[in-house]
Structure 1
Amino acid sequence: MSDSTALSPSVTGERADLLAELAGARYFLRFTTRDLTDEEAGRRTTASELCLGGLIKHVTATEAGWAAFIVEGPSALGDFDAMTEEDFARRADEFRMLPGETLAGVLKEYERVAARTDELVVGLPSLDADHPLPKAPWFEPGARWSARRALIHIIAETTQHAGHADIIRESLDGAKSMG
């Protein structure tokens, strides 16, 4: 596993714990793609539309969006009510490998976003800083999330999708992340 706290030896306490948990979740997600070809990373192995490369892309976009929310507020996540069919199609493309995309490229972008998030966690003046959530059917109207809550959400999303990835990988070739 990569050690996020290597960014700064002064990272301790809650920030170190959040970074360590996020590093662990990222590791297991990435580990599901070990030794795969681009074609295998793009293959659907279950009834869902999900593939391993697409899950990495989705988690990358999700992490980037929530990290931007921490800094910029609700505008970073966009306005659900203003989404067009093109926006929904782009969102759907996050869940699959598109022609010309490679697993190495997808993983490199994930690494870039992860490093940016880790730097953000280290440099935030306060994890208590908060913003209102954007309007969307899945958010409570008027709710606000702190940087801490957004980071916990990134960890939860990454962990959930690492579990999805484990199922997809086991269906692909029998390989498991654990056990």
Structure 2
Amino acid sequence: MDGTSMTGDGASMTGEHADLLQTLARHRGFLRQTVRGLTDEQAALRTTASELCLGGLIKHVAGTEAMWMRFAAGGAEAAESEPVDWEGRFRMAEGETLAGLLDAYEQVALATEKQVAQTPDLNLSHPLPQAPWFEPGARWSVRRVLLHIIAETAQHAGHADIIRESLDGAKTMG
């Protein structure tokens, strides 16, 4: 990585903003590579004891990134402004296609890149929503949100690799 990143509108960034976005793009790429060449039916299959399927992972990661970037822009109220189907978020619904889910994920990625490019201070922070898994009174900065999205994407890229290997023996990361 050379420390320069292009945003969705062709502008370039350098420094920490670019480094974070390049790292996120790398893990998004691993996840996308894992589903390459699959049919919609294959992407919807559960191949392990888990409820997860490959299309559902794409859908979940896209939705999670979009939600956290709403948080980065406007705090807990913004993050919670759109309803979430927590169970359905991990499965492909009737009529959903892998291509459609990948397109939606690309739109989320472009929006994230644009938002990060327009955020001059990654220290901007908001109080976390009240939830048993968050420390009361804790705040997350835009930087922390991006690190969380990177970790979430990397973790699910690993899950996807296992699911794909169970599906047809293909290994993305092995």
TM-score bucket of the superposed structures, by smaller chain: over 0.9
User: CA offset at residue 161 of structure 1?
Assistant: 0.3
| 1:137 aligned residue (129, 132, 136) | 132
| 1:92 aligned residue (87, 90, 106) | 87
Question: For residue 13 of structure 1, what is the amino acid of its counterpart?
Answer: G
User: CA offset at residue 91 of structure 1?
Assistant: 1.2
- Whether 1:147 aligns to 2:142 is yes
- Whether 1:162 aligns to 2:164 is no
Structure 1 residue matching 2:140: 3-state secondary structure: strand
| 1:55 aligned residue (54, 57, 63) | 57
Question: For residue 55 of structure 2, what is the amino acid of its counterpart?
Answer: G
Q: Tell me the residue number matched to 2:24.
A: 22
CA RMSD across the alignment: 1.5
* Gap change, CA 1:53 and 1:22, over 3 Å in 2: same
- Whether 1:31 aligns to 2:33 is yes
Q: Which deviations, in whole Å up to 9, do the C-alpha atoms of 1:84-104 show, x marking residues without a partner? A: xxx67x211000011100000
- Structure 1: unaligned runs, 5 residues or longer: 80-86
Question: For residue 142 of structure 1, what is the amino acid of its counterpart?
Answer: G
Structure 1 residue matching 2:126: 3-state secondary structure: strand
Q: Which deviations, in whole Å up to 9, do the C-alpha atoms of 1:49-92 show, x marking residues without a partner? A: 0000000000000000000001110112339xxxxxxx67x211
8 Å CA contact 2:69–2:112 kept in 1: the answer is yes
Q: Tell me the residue number matched to 1:41.
A: 43
Structure 2 residue matching 1:11: 3-state secondary structure: strand
Could you tell me how far apart the structure 1 residues matched to 2:159 and 2:128 are? 26
- Whether 1:116 aligns to 2:118 is no
User: CA offset at residue 9 of structure 1?
Assistant: 5.2
Could you tell me how far apart the structure 1 residues matched to 2:44 and 2:11 are? 38
Structure 1 residue matching 2:86: 3-state secondary structure: helix
User: CA offset at residue 6 of structure 1?
Assistant: 2.0
Aligned residue-pair number: 168
Structure 1 residue matching 2:5: 3-state secondary structure: helix
Could you tell me how far apart the structure 2 residues matched to 1:5 and 1:26 are? 15
- Structure 2: unaligned runs, 5 residues or longer: none
8 Å CA contact 2:69–2:79 kept in 1: the answer is no
Question: For residue 137 of structure 2, what is the amino acid of its counterpart?
Answer: G
Correspondence list, 1:62-101, <5 A: 62-78=64-80, 90-101=85-96
The percent identity for this pair of structures is 62
User: CA offset at residue 137 of structure 1?
Assistant: 1.1
User: CA offset at residue 128 of structure 1?
Assistant: 0.5
